[in-house]
Amino acid sequence: MTVSYNLDVSSTSLVAFLKLQLRWRGSVWKSVMRELFIFSILFATVTSIYRTNYFLSEEQRVFWDNFSALFDQKLDYIPLTFMLGFFVTIIVGRWNDIFLNIGWVDNTALLIATYIRGNDEKSRILRRTTLRYMVLTQVIIFRDISMRVRKRFPTLETVVASGFMLESEREKYVELNLKYNKYFLPIQWCYSLLYEARAQGKIGADVMLNELIKSVGDFRRGLGQLCNFDWVPIPLVYPQVVFLAVRIYFFLCLIARQSVLIDGEPPKDASPVYPFVPFLMTSLQFIFYVGWMKVAESLMNPLGEDDDDFECNFLLDRNLATGLAIVDDCYNDSPPLQKDIFWSAETVEPLYSADTANMHLNPQIGSAAAYETRENEIIMKPHADAVDDFEDGGDDVEECNPRRLPRGISVVSVNRNCESRTSLVSRRNNQGPTIMERLRSQFGGSKVNRPGKLFGSSQFSINTAMGDNDIGSCASILGELVDDANKAAQAGLLTPEEMASSPRRTPIDVLTSVPEEDEDAQKTRTSVDLRKWKEMVDNERRKEEEEKRRKLSRKEEEKEEDLTDGDEKELK
């Protein structure tokens, strides 16, 4: 039976550690107690022969010391840690695969209750029988691979008596003359019932039938994996080698750990406590290594009768009871639709108990989300590789793709909470270097120090969406840029006309600071824009209606003129 201890280790503390170590059922103490007791008796027997003067002379004792010390040095020839580590890794992986394929009917039961419709007695029997056949398959397989289930159901008559199988079904099962296992038969009955339900219209569509058959097939495939694990275990040589190596190792320790020599010499001050040190350390090593080996032994067959083996009988009872409740008791029994308590709430904040309301929560927030730049303006420019390609192109620049040229430089202001927005001029007076100084410092290197190339002409397109406070800063930046362009032209690098006529030169648009708006300002601006747009649309509609009225009035006037002209002609 499975040993559950998760509640004891729900928190990390010394008390939790003691609770975990003081458990008996399924513990390492219960696993190694017998072997440790036998090892201790044998170790004490060898020690009594070695330490007393009744069996060995002084010369024989010296020979024994050297012999045991040599044994102790050569024990590392047995790679115990390596062998146990690999073996336990394989066993744990196999144990995990067995648990994943042990079989749960919940998903299939939910599909049966959803797709097979009908409140009549036949529909109920159909749903219940389909589910019971799935559990019956699990019972028949578990009888052959689990000793606990086999002891519970030694014959098929006991399966009938327990309620998993009917007498007519047992007779049908026995009638099939097949020398191999007949695990497939209940699943085939299940498929037949599903097809019959589709033919009678109880399943609404073929895709629903396909989904049900797929779910039942997955359940059967998992049980088939259990049969394969039971049929083909780990090769016998591997557990034999590991288990034999562990036991031989500690058998040799009965001789090797008797010596108390320190660096090949006996201790200077003889004491009766010294012989207990090898025994104590060897006993601890015995508990750890043998306990490690016992883990592998208990996990090799998790469907057996050990303390930590799976509760197969409980799983069978649980699958049958839960599955029948899903497909029958809870069928088409949903609560009425109502508005939840958060229907009109602006924020969804569930309540906590008084004990947990003050506990700290760790919300899912990115580790870099709290970063805030210290700059008031951020300069956005092309990557250095793009600038280097443009500058190093030489004569090949004429043939390059214009898309490779730098797109421009953008200066973006940082909107900080709880901080008033200031213009670039005021920030320039209060803080560090100006934007233009930073631009010059960043573009003033040996490669990029070409004003004629960087600022191609004295005309710059400045795209801005700013308020009244930023007009002065924009004008100052524009003036500085124009001055730099004029100086570059006077230096004889390239004239503005040459730059304008050159197809490979594209002026860089310098974007001034674009102050960000807070949420309220954005909502206000959006509502004003919508109002203006609505007024504009209404005006256009009015103009169209007036135009239509004018056209209609003109047509009526023309018709009246035509009628009057016709009357006059008739009178004449």
Asked if the model's pLDDT at residue 211 lies above 90, the reply is yes
Q: What pLDDT, in 10s, does the model give residues 508-552?
A: 444 444 444 455 555 555 566 667 777 888 888 888 888 888 888
Residue 443 has what pLDDT? 52
Residue 75 has what pLDDT? 81
CB neighbours of 190 closer than 8 A, spacing ≥ 6?
130, 133, 134, 216
In a domain, 87, yes or no: no
Describe the chain by its helix, strand, coil percentages, rounded to 5: 60, 5, 35
In a domain, 214, yes or no: yes
The model's pTM: 0.64
- In terms of pLDDT, which residue wins out, 475 or 13? 13
Q: How confident is the model at residue 369 (pLDDT cuts 50, 70, 90)?
A: confident
Q: How confident is the model at residue 196 (pLDDT cuts 50, 70, 90)?
A: very high
Q: Average of pLDDT values for 283-292?
A: 90
Q: Average of pLDDT values for 6-12?
A: 72
Tell me which residue range forms the domain holding 225. Answer: 100-231
- In terms of pLDDT, which residue wins out, 253 or 322? 322
Residue 464 has what pLDDT? 38
Q: For residue 378, list its beta bridge partners.
A: 412
Residue 485 has what pLDDT? 53
Residue 522 has what pLDDT? 52
Q: How confident is the model at residue 388 (pLDDT cuts 50, 70, 90)?
A: low
In a domain, 192, yes or no: yes
CB neighbours of 5 closer than 8 A, spacing ≥ 6?
19, 20, 23
Residue 562 has what pLDDT? 77
- In terms of pLDDT, which residue wins out, 12 or 468? 12
In a domain, 489, yes or no: no
Helices marked H in 431-518 — which ranges?
A: 435-443, 451-454, 471-490, 496-501
- In terms of pLDDT, which residue wins out, 2 or 258? 258
> From CA 455, how far away is CA 489, in angstroms rounded?
10
Q: Average of pLDDT values for 448-465?
A: 38
Residue 406 has what pLDDT? 47
Pick the range with the lowest mean pLDDT from 196-210, 363-377, 466-480: 466-480
- In terms of pLDDT, which residue wins out, 503 or 105? 105
- In terms of pLDDT, which residue wins out, 231 or 16? 231
Residue 394 has what pLDDT? 47
Q: Average of pLDDT values for 41-48?
A: 86
Asked if the model's pLDDT at residue 102 lies above 90, the reply is yes
Burial class (CB in 10 A: 0-12, 13-18, 19+), 445: exposed
Q: Average of pLDDT values for 14-28?
A: 78
Q: What pLDDT, in 10s, does the model give residues 328-363?
A: 999 988 899 999 999 988 889 999 999 888 888 888
Q: What pLDDT, in 10s, does the model give residues 149-190?
A: 999 999 999 999 999 999 999 999 999 999 899 999 999 999
Burial class (CB in 10 A: 0-12, 13-18, 19+), 489: buried
Residue 97 has what pLDDT? 94
Residue 419 has what pLDDT? 45
Residue 49 has what pLDDT? 80
Q: What pLDDT, in 10s, does the model give residues 252-280?
A: 888 888 776 666 566 666 666 777 788 88
Q: For residue 409, list its beta bridge partners.
A: 510
In a domain, 22, yes or no: no
- In terms of pLDDT, which residue wins out, 564 or 352? 352
Q: How confident is the model at residue 376 (pLDDT cuts 50, 70, 90)?
A: confident
Q: How confident is the model at residue 409 (pLDDT cuts 50, 70, 90)?
A: confident
> From CA 534, how far away is CA 512, in angstroms rounded?
32
Residue 129 has what pLDDT? 96
> From CA 190, how far away is CA 197, in angstroms rounded?
11
In a domain, 243, yes or no: no
C-beta atoms surrounding 485 within 10 Å: 22
Q: Average of pLDDT values for 119-129?
A: 94
What mean pLDDT, rounded, does the chain reach? 77
Residue given tokens 């088409």 in the structure block = 332
Closest CA to 482 of 517, 514, 456: 456
Q: How confident is the model at residue 43 (pLDDT cuts 50, 70, 90)?
A: confident
Asked if the model's pLDDT at residue 405 lies above 70, the reply is no
Residue 523 has what pLDDT? 53
Residue 113 has what pLDDT? 95
Q: What pLDDT, in 10s, does the model give residues 460-502?
A: 333 334 444 444 444 455 456 556 555 555 554 444 444 444 4
> From CA 259, how far away is CA 275, in angstroms rounded?
8
> From CA 134, how far away is CA 132, in angstroms rounded?
5
Tally of domains within the chain: 1
In a domain, 107, yes or no: yes
Closest CA to 408 of 387, 385, 381: 381
CB neighbours of 258 closer than 8 A, spacing ≥ 6?
46, 47, 50, 64, 68, 275, 278
In a domain, 392, yes or no: no
C-beta atoms surrounding 172 within 10 Å: 13
Residue 477 has what pLDDT? 53
